[in-house]
């Protein structure tokens, strides 16, 4: 299986990245990716950027050479009811939206509470991807999460940075992949790069997906056509009642 797009990257704007937007874009093009997602942390993350940053995405070209550029965000879960650090109107103006838990700003709770928080955001209709749902600090019911993601047509992320950023995440990650296989849930494999030379690094995450015998058709960034179909279907922003 080939991954043609890295949909989760960070830059110096988040205060713990090491490369510029230009460096991320240029590296993605250099290594032959067909698309890259600029997904800076939302304003709820300490030290990250405010809405003015995302609002100025209008100045970034959506195509650089043969590379498509998606200007999005990694929104933060801010409350157990599934609230994020963006308004609905702001989310509709982004090309792609990842929603993730971060210990710096996201509440934790029981497995039932964290799972309910994520499923509430998926039902809301403005979240395309649940980012690194394998975090041991935020336990989830893999079956409930995968079933709801399949219903909402939301992708669950298999994050290549999890072993370093979220120690002990591998068992949960495998459970999520297994549940996704049972329910036909869409997945996405991403780097979560904070340095441009890490963009397009998928070895760990991709190996887990391959070992589980997940077909390419279930991975949204395994072809540009699949990615376009996913984003087109999602950005009708059908809210599930």
Domain residue ranges in the chain: 5-234
CA distance 169 to 208: 12
CA distance 40 to 72: 7
pTM over 0.85: yes
CA distance 97 to 104: 19
Could you report the per-residue pLDDT of 124-154, keeping only the tens digit for each?
889 999 999 999 999 999 999 999 999 999 9
Fold of 5-234: TIM Barrel (3.20.20)
Structural element, H or E, at residue 76: strand 67-76
Token pair belonging to 65: 């050479």
The count of C-alpha atoms lying within 13 angstroms of the C-alpha of 183, restricted to the half-sphere facing its C-beta, is: 24
Could you report the per-residue pLDDT of 8-57, keeping only the tens digit for each?
999 999 999 999 999 999 999 999 999 999 999 999 999 999 999 999 99
| 3-state class (DSSP) for residue 133 | coil
* Percent over 70 (pLDDT), the chain: 98
């Amino acid at each position: 299986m080939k991954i043609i797009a890295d949909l989760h990257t960070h830059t110096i704007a988040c205060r713990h990245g090491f490369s510029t937007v230009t460096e991320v874009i240029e590296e993605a093009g250099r290594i032959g990716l067909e698309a890259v997602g600029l997904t800076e942390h939302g304003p709820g993350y300490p030290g990250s950027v405010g809405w003015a940053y995302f609002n100025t995405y209008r100045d970034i070209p959506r195509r650089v050479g043969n590379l498509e550029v998606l200007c999005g965000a990694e929104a933060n879960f801010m409350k157990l009811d599934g609230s994020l650090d963006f308004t609905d109107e702001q989310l509709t103006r982004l090309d792609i939206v990842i929603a993730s838990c971060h210990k710096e700003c996201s509440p934790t709770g029981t497995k039932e509470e964290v799972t309910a928080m994520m499923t509430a955001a998926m039902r809301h209709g403005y979240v395309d991807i649940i980012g690194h749902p394998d975090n041991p600090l935020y336990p989830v019911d893999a079956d409930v999460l995968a079933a709801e993601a399949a219903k909402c047509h939301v992708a669950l992320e298999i994050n290549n940075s999890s072993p370093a950023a979220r120690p002990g995440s591998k068992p949960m990650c495998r459970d999520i992949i297994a549940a996704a296989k049972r329910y036909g849930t869409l997945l996405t494999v991403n780097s979560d790069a904070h340095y441009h030379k890490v963009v397009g690094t998928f070895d760990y995450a991709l190996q887990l997906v391959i070992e589980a015998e997940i077909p390419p058709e279930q991975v949204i960034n395994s072809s540009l056509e699949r990615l376009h179909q996913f984003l087109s279907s999602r950005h009708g922003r059908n809210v599930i009642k």
